[in-house]
Amino acid sequence: MNSNNQHIRKHIITALVENQPGVLARIVGLISGRGYNIESLNVGPTQDSTVSRLTMLVPGDDRVLEQVTKQLDKLVDVIKVTDLTRETFLNRECILVRVAATRKTRSEIIELADVFGCQVIAVRANSMVLQLVGEQDIVTDFLELMKPFRILDVSRSGVIAMASE
């Protein structure tokens, strides 16, 4: 907890924005310029080609969240800002992970991957590449369990989310 007795948490913020050049740069500049960190950022088009959905994971207390959402709301190119943290929402993240694998460990890695619903993307003499799509907490748990096998490389998409209503 910080000095205001508020919990530091990871806020998932989505914003519908105009699909125009420079919008992402203005948003990132606005948030980082105020000293806030963006832990994860994902942007993609919506069903309307003129609008994109931006999803950010911003760590901080409620004051940080309030400042970020107020600042985003002020930008002309921002249509709507939503904090999903206190709502019921769905989230997914995609990862590719290259893990060291020998003949002895390969079957154990595949067994663990199956438990998480991973796909084996590539098998090499000394490594394997696995793909996992799932809730962010599940992805984090999987990576933790892969550490003893020696993770060689990880590529994460960042979280995407939407209200579940």
Q: What is the pTM of this model?
A: 0.79
Percent of the chain with pLDDT over 70: 96
Q: Please check whether residues 127 and 75 belong to one and the same domain.
A: no
Which of 161, 165, 164 shows the shortest CA–CA distance to 42?
161
Which residues, including other chains, have CB under 8 Å from residue 140's CB and lie 6 or more apart? none
The 10s digit of each residue's pLDDT in 31-50 is: 888 888 899 999 999 999 99
Whether residues 123 and 149 fall in one domain: yes
**8 A C-beta contact, residue 110 and residue 120:** yes
9, 124 Cβ separation under 8 angstroms: no
Residue 23: name the closest of 4, 8, 45 by CA.
45
Q: What is the DSSP letter of 50?
A: T
Question: Which of 27, 54, 83 lies at the terminal end of a domain, its last residue?
Answer: 83
Which residue type does 112 have?
L
Please report, for the domain that includes residue 117, its CATH number: 3.30.70.1150
pLDDT tens profile 66-106: 888 888 988 889 999 998 987 889 999 999 999 999 999 99
154 within a domain of the structure (yes/no): yes
- What are 130-144's pLDDT values in tens digits? 999 999 899 999 999
Q: Find out whether 127 and 99 touch, Cβ atoms under 8 Å.
A: yes
Domains of the chain: total:
2
Q: Are residues 69 and 103 in the same domain?
A: no
- Which domain-ending residue is among 54, 83, 112? 83
Report whether pLDDT(4) > 80. no
